[in-house]
Amino acid sequence: MSYASPLLSLPGAVAADAPDAGVAAHYGDLFREQRALDRGQGLVDLSHREVLSVTGPDRLSWLHLLLTQHVSELPAGQATEALILTAQGRIEHALYLVDDGTTTWLHTEPGRGAALLGYLESMKFFYRVETADRTGEFAVVFLPAGSIAETGPEWVVRETPYGRDVFVPRAALESFAAQAGPAAGVLAYEALRVAGHRPRLGRETDERTIPHELGWLESAVHLAKGCYRGQETVAKVHNLGKPPRRLVFLHLDGSEVKIPEHGAPVRLAADGTEGRQLGVVTTSARHHELGPIALAVVKRGVPADAPLLAGDTPAAQETIVQP
């Protein structure tokens, strides 16, 4: 059964499309919502994301063997993010974690919880760990950096440079939103994510993506640890320095009415719309200060200063991952 957040009943709420179906795209004024988040005000309903927990005395040492991140000595309350890779080093899951001293909490993309839980269950072996899907009990809500909204004294909070991910008991979601508002939709949240050059599983990734292509080595991969699935590929590509593709930030022509959709082809502007495809737009957004912007994944050999076409929209590059 499809999910529908209770916050969709707030005035002005317009439902988002996949992959964010179930929460609000906006509440009537996209730029006002973005500006409020930039000022440290309001919240974003991410209650469609899936929540898992890991308990048991071996939880951190066990997760350390499975994840790209160093978590065996993760201090209580310190946020981190990590990936699970295939044997070939391709990205399969992205996890956003925090440990509260007795339980490791994580959230992941909508629709990915069951597969992630299944993988974790298959790797338990003799370790003293228990995994559980807690999506039915807890909802994720984002509070921007600078927010003074008060959370429940027992609630788990994941503090990052961008703001706080709060694991709110679902029974308290509406009352918390009422005191922490005004609510902003996921379009505002995504615009700030794009402006911050932050990749997202399922948007910037496909079945071939490796962490080096998206700049995830800096935030989600610990290069001094090994013993996780796909680590050989991570080390090899890092040492050679030649990932096949790279993430770029695009400033789109603001005179265009439409912005390119996810999957729109990227070409050299000099070659026109009939030129050879060199990449794809992964996420595009309208930013309250920067105007229309996008993330795209392009072939490594695309000149870093070359003007591009994103779909049929002229675009200027800004380097995220070095060619």
Residue 80 lies in a domain: yes
Whether the CB-CB separation of 83 and 90 falls below 8 Å is answered with: no
Residue 223 lies in a domain: no
Is there a single domain that holds both residue 127 and residue 56? yes
Domain endpoint, select from 117, 133, 149: 133
* Site of tokens 């992205």: 94
Is there a single domain that holds both residue 34 and residue 150? yes
State pTM to two decimals: 0.95
Is there a single domain that holds both residue 61 and residue 18? no
- Spatial separation of the C-alpha atoms in residues 158 and 124, rounded to whole Å: 25
Residue 284 lies in a domain: yes
Is there a single domain that holds both residue 40 and residue 113? no
Is there a single domain that holds both residue 153 and residue 291? no
Could you please report the per-residue DSSP string of 163-214?
EEEEEEEGGGHHHHHHHH--EE-HHHHHHHHHHTT---TTTT--TT--GGGG
Is there a single domain that holds both residue 44 and residue 64? no
pLDDT value, residue 242: 86
Which H or E run includes 55? strand 50-55
Whether the CB-CB separation of 69 and 220 falls below 8 Å is answered with: yes
pLDDT less than 70: residues of the chain: 1
Residue 207 lies in a domain: no
Is there a single domain that holds both residue 269 and residue 257? yes
Q: Of 110, 165, 109, which is closest to residue 140 (Cα–Cα)?
A: 165
**Residue span of the structural domain in which 261 resides:** 244-319
pLDDT value, residue 257: 79
Q: Of 233, 197, 202, which is closest to residue 218 (Cα–Cα)?
A: 197
Q: How many domains does the chain have?
A: 3
pLDDT value, residue 139: 98
pLDDT value, residue 1: 60
Is there a single domain that holds both residue 307 and residue 259? yes
For 247-286, give one letter per residue: b (16+ CB within 10 A) or e. Answer: bbbbbbbeeeeebbeeebbbbbbeeeeeeeebbbbbbbbb
CA separation, residue 103 to residues 23, 52, 97, 98, 244 (Å): 27, 10, 10, 9, 38
Domain endpoint, select from 133, 164, 183: 133
Question: CATH number for the domain including 82?
Answer: 3.30.70.1400
Helix, strand, coil proportions of the chain in percent (round to 5)? 25, 30, 45
Is there a single domain that holds both residue 302 and residue 254? yes
* Site of tokens 């680590």: 231
| Interval 199-222: pLDDT, tens | 999 999 999 999 999 999 999 999
Dihedral angle sign, alpha carbons of residues 37, 43, 45, 49: positive
Residue 160 lies in a domain: yes
